[in-house]
């Protein structure tokens, strides 16, 4: 599954150049010219990483970074600032606002891709192909399959597409409690209008699929708060 990267820059030529580099690097590129367009793109589907220009019309990149760090939907999305400002004070201000890294203009496509991959690794996301392992479960992202360890050997776990996405999100964000509405935003997407109890239905299906391997306890109910994935 390709990583989705949101490019927020008011210069179309910069966006096109960055998007071309991202596609060559096997990423999916989404464009936004200002904060409003960026917010609409996030509502459609939360990106895996945001490339954010420092100088934007309306809200500055710094203001957007601060806002997204306070929003539960985008709190964990890595942000790389695209900036012509190389001064240390500016970099410190951006890092305090929640920016993960900087790329100073002009930059090469090779440098940009290296920074993106490094930030994604640091953000505890899964491997580049979507693979991740935890608690006796392994997701093979390239094959889009799930395997469970049983008595020392791997067995395939049969999951529907929604349960797969749900498990993948849980496994890449372990030991954190997510409310039903947060899971709807992250797994179903911000523009999908379904009832919160839909989450409960898919949680039950996911647990039922893990039950034959005695792994259903990995998906835990936190009374009054939501759900979490934990190996403890």
Q: What is the pLDDT of residue 179?
A: 93
Mean pLDDT of the chain: 86
Residues 141 and 132: their CA atoms lie apart, in Å, by 8
Domain, as residue range, for 194: 132-229
Residues 9-24 pLDDT 10s: 999 999 999 999 999 9
* Cβ–Cβ < 8 Å for 46, 89: no
What is the CATH classification number for the domain harbouring 210? 1.10.10.10
> Do 114 and 136 lie in a common domain?
no
> Do 201 and 117 lie in a common domain?
no
Quick one: tokens of 108?
């090469």
Q: Please return the burial class of 119, using the count of CB atoms within 10 Å of its CB with bins 0-12, 13-18 and 19+.
A: middle
* Cβ–Cβ < 8 Å for 113, 72: no
| Distance from the first to the final alpha carbon of the chain | 28
> Do 136 and 98 lie in a common domain?
no
Q: Considering its fold, how many domains does the chain have in total? A: 2
Question: From the centroid of its chain, how far is CA 95?
Answer: 19
Which region among 30-44, 81-95, 167-181 has the lowest average model confidence (pLDDT)? 81-95
- Which residues, at least 6 apart from 114, have a Cβ–Cβ distance to it below 8 Å? none
Q: What is the pLDDT of residue 126?
A: 43
Question: Is 127 part of any domain?
Answer: no
What is the CATH classification number for the domain harbouring 14? 3.40.50.2300
Question: Is 142 part of any domain?
Answer: yes
Task: Check: pTM over 0.85? Answer yes or no.
Answer: no
Q: What is the pLDDT of residue 127?
A: 46
> Do 23 and 87 lie in a common domain?
yes
> Do 222 and 143 lie in a common domain?
yes
Which region among 29-33, 66-70, 85-89 has the lowest average model confidence (pLDDT)? 85-89
Q: What is the pLDDT of residue 33?
A: 94
For 135-165, give the DSSP string.
Answer: TTEEEETTTTEEEEEETTEEEEE---HHHHH
> Do 19 and 111 lie in a common domain?
yes
Most confident residue range from 43-47, 74-78, 102-106: 43-47
- Please name every residue paired with 158 in a beta bridge, in sequence order, or none if there are none: none
Residue where a domain terminates, one of 82, 103, 122: 122
Q: What is the pLDDT of residue 125?
A: 44
Residue where a domain terminates, one of 65, 99, 122: 122
Residues 152-211 pLDDT 10s: 899 999 988 788 989 999 998 888 899 998 898 888 765 455 678 888 988 998 999 999
């Amino acid at each position: 599954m390709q990583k989705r990267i949101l490019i927020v820059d008011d210069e179309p030529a910069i966006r096109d150049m960055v998007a071309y580099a991202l596609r060559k690097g096997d990423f999916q590129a989404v464009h936004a010219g200002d904060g409003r367009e960026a917010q609409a793109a996030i509502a459609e589907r939360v990106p895996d990483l945001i490339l954010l220009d420092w100088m934007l019309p309306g809200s500055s990149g710094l203001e957007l970074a601060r806002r997204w760090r306070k929003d539960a939907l985008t709190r964990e999305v890595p942000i790389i600032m695209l900036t012509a400002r190389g001064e240390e004070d500016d970099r410190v201000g951006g890092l305090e606002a929640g920016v993960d890294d900087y790329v100073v203009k002009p930059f090469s496509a090779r440098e940009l891709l290296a920074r993106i991959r490094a930030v994604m690794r640091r953000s505890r996301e899964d491997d580049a192909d979507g693979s991740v392992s935890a608690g006796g479960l392994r997701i093979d992202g390239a094959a889009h399959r799930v395997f469970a360890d049983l008595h020392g050997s791997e067995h395939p776990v049969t999951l529907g597409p929604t349960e797969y996405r749900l498990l993948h999100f849980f496994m890449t964000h372990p030991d954190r409690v997510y409310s039903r509405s947060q899971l709807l935003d992250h797994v179903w997407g911000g523009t999908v209008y379904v009832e919160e109890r839909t989450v409960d239905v898919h949680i039950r299906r996911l647990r039922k699929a893990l039950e034959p391997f005695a792994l259903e306890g990995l998906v835990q109910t936190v009374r009054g708060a939501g759900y979490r994935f934990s190996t403890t």
